Amino acid sequence: MNKLPFHISLLSLFLLLSSTNIFAGTMVNFAFEDKESFPYYMGRGLKPRMNLPGASVEVVQLVCDKLNIKINWIRMPWKRCLNTLGINKIDGTFNASYKQEREKLGVYPSKDGNVDKSRRLVTVHYAFYKLLGSDVNWDGKTLNNFTGTVGAVNGYSVEKDLIAKGIPVDPAPDTLANLNKLLFRRVNLIAGAKLQIDSFIKTKPDQYQNIIEIETPLKIKASYLILSHQFVKNNRETAKKIWDTIKEVRESEEYIKIFDKYYNKR
């Protein structure tokens, strides 16, 4: 049996070790919103939950575990997540849908100059909700029989989507406040992430039983882990590997099990 020259054997060993541990010891600072958004992140406040922190949190953690990357988790208001990313004080934030203006703040996974939807973290279904008996309807393009304003969470992408369509918006600090505005007829509709709104309705059915979904989706949007410009500039290969691994995990049974765990708790 022929033996490889000693120096080639050492080189091969070095490359093997380098490829398997290239991300080992890397520490990233990832931030996510300090309000609950079922099932993506759970609980409220500045301290992440140790148990059931949220499906998106668990997916990002799983991705980084696979790459031997350690995460320092931070919670803060959503606008601050984006602004802090923009000044490179954190390395990433997530459940961010694509907005062109956000490209100034962070970097999305891309392919051929376009955002790469195949490397999205989650897909979010947005919907309108109204009071039982209301004849307001949404046909996918136009609100029919509508007057007044639509409640939407301030700073969320859906708020800007509605404004861009010329729909008057009454901003709210969070989804719970939005639901209560509709309940007390301070707005005629609310708009937001379906799973999040449904979660509140399901946990308090007696209180919100007269709030119903308009079945035609407002929008179905991909949401991403976006990384800071500085992090991507200094760690291009790591950034690529993170996004590639998100795609691998999202297409796996592990991903389904993570989300099922949260659905089964409700």
pLDDT tens digit string along 33-64?
Answer: 999 889 999 999 998 888 999 999 999 999 99
Half-sphere exposure at residue 233, Cβ-oriented, CA atoms within 13 angstroms = 5
Angle at 45 between CA 39 and CA 51, to 5 degrees: 50
Length of the chain as a residue count? 266
Helix (H) or strand (E) holding 58: helix 55-66
Per-residue pLDDT tens over the stretch 182-220: 999 999 999 999 999 998 998 899 999 999 999 999 999
Q: Cα dihedral angle (229, 231, 232, 234), rounded to 10 degrees?
A: 120
Helix (H) or strand (E) holding 129: strand 122-131
User: Quick one: 30 exposed, middle or buried, by C-beta within 10 A (0-12, 13-18, 19+)?
Assistant: buried
Q: Which domains can be identified in the chain, with CATH numbers?
A: 24-121+223-265 (3.40.190.10), 124-220 (3.40.190.10)
Averaged pLDDT score across all residues of the chain: 90
Per-residue pLDDT tens over the stretch 60-111: 999 999 999 999 999 999 999 999 999 999 999 999 999 999 999 999 999 9
3-class state of residue 161 by DSSP: helix
Contact between 148 and 136 under an 8 Å Cβ cutoff? The reply is: no
> What's the average model confidence in pLDDT over 157-162?
92
What pTM was estimated for this model as a whole? 0.80
CB atoms within 10 A of CB 37: 24
Residue for token pair 């148990």: 51
Helix (H) or strand (E) holding 213: strand 211-213
Contact between 249 and 62 under an 8 Å Cβ cutoff? The reply is: yes
Contact between 228 and 132 under an 8 Å Cβ cutoff? The reply is: no
CB atoms within 10 A of CB 93: 26
Contact between 185 and 167 under an 8 Å Cβ cutoff? The reply is: no
**Residue 264 — very low, low, confident or very high, per pLDDT cuts 50/70/90?**
confident
| Secondary structure letter of residue 2 according to DSSP | P
On the question of pLDDT at 172 being above 60, the answer is yes
Nearest residue to 105 (alpha-carbon basis) of 122, 129, 89: 89
